[in-house]
Structure 1
């Protein structure tokens, strides 16, 4: 039983790392590419900041929301908005999540991407 638990934990950790790695790899592939190509593929930037060295930083932001089920035990029949009946007296109530991701791309004087950074809980 313990061996199965450890194996499941390791598998979950590796899957999480691999999805982050895939996204980082996809952003790495844009380094050296013209910013215009990135804009055609991903949409207009939400902001721009000019740097003293002639470079510029463009920001691309996305927001959204989702729901995460939260399980709670109950021995009675409950019928409330946002709650669905589970198995053997369990109730699943949805918890709203705010999702966001901001990607910053730094471009050189010729408009080619030289560096990137991202922040948020939905950047995978």
Structure 2
């Protein structure tokens, strides 16, 4: 159970360094390059669309599922008690107040959640095979220091 927590924290820390701004910086670095260099680096595109001016749009897509949750924690629950007590007996009666606490520990389980992550990136290439612009969409288009994430 401790290993899962450590892995989750490490994953969050690594993800926290990856930003869309860095992804856009990395995409900007491709503008002006020959499309062949991009394909050699990224692999073949998922699809390609011809444009009327002789250029084309190349679409690259990454998809993955991230699982979070599925762990159990123990949470203390403290109950505060107070009141009055009357005691009657053959020798008389007694009266008093009391107060105190008791703590029980409740197990709480976080349900497992699967999150679909996706990044679609499109590069526009002119008729000479030069990358002229790009766009992206999705919740997983991030990079660390301008270097793309797989």
Fold shared by both chains (TM-score > 0.5): yes
C-alpha distance after superposition, 1:55-95 (max 9, x if no partner): 100100111111122xxxxxxxxxxxxx4321322212220
What CA distance in whole angstroms lies between the structure 2 residues aligned with 1:44 and 1:105? Answer: 12
* d(CA) in 2 for partners of 1:102, 1:60: 6
Q: Which runs of 5+ in 1 are unaligned?
A: 1-15, 70-82
Q: Deviations over 1:21-53 (max 9, x none)?
A: 111100000000111111111111010111111
Structure 1 consecutive aligned stretches of length 4 or more whose deviation exceeds 4 Å: none
State the TM-score, normalizing by the size of structure 2: 0.59
Alignment of 1:97 with 2:84, yes or no, is no
- Local SS of the residue matching 1:40: helix
Q: Residues of 2 paired with 1:41 and 1:65: CA distance?
A: 24
Higher helix share: 1
5+ long unaligned stretches in structure 2: 1-15, 76-106, 143-150
Alignment coverage as a number of residue pairs: 97
User: What SS does the aligned partner of 1:123 have?
Assistant: coil
Does residue 36 (structure 1) correspond to residue 36 (structure 2)? The answer is yes
RMSD: 2.0
The yes-or-no answer on 1:47 pairing with 2:34 is no
Using structure 1 for the length normalisation, give the TM-score.
Answer: 0.71
- Between 1 and 2, higher relative CO (CA 8 Å, sep ≥ 6) is seen in 2
Task: Select 2:137's aligned residue among 114, 119, 122.
Answer: 119
1:107 Cα offset (Å): 0.3
CA distance in 2 between counterparts of 1:52 and 1:104 reads 17
Aligned equivalents of 1:87 and 1:104: distance in 2? 47
Q: CA deviation at 1:99?
A: 1.1
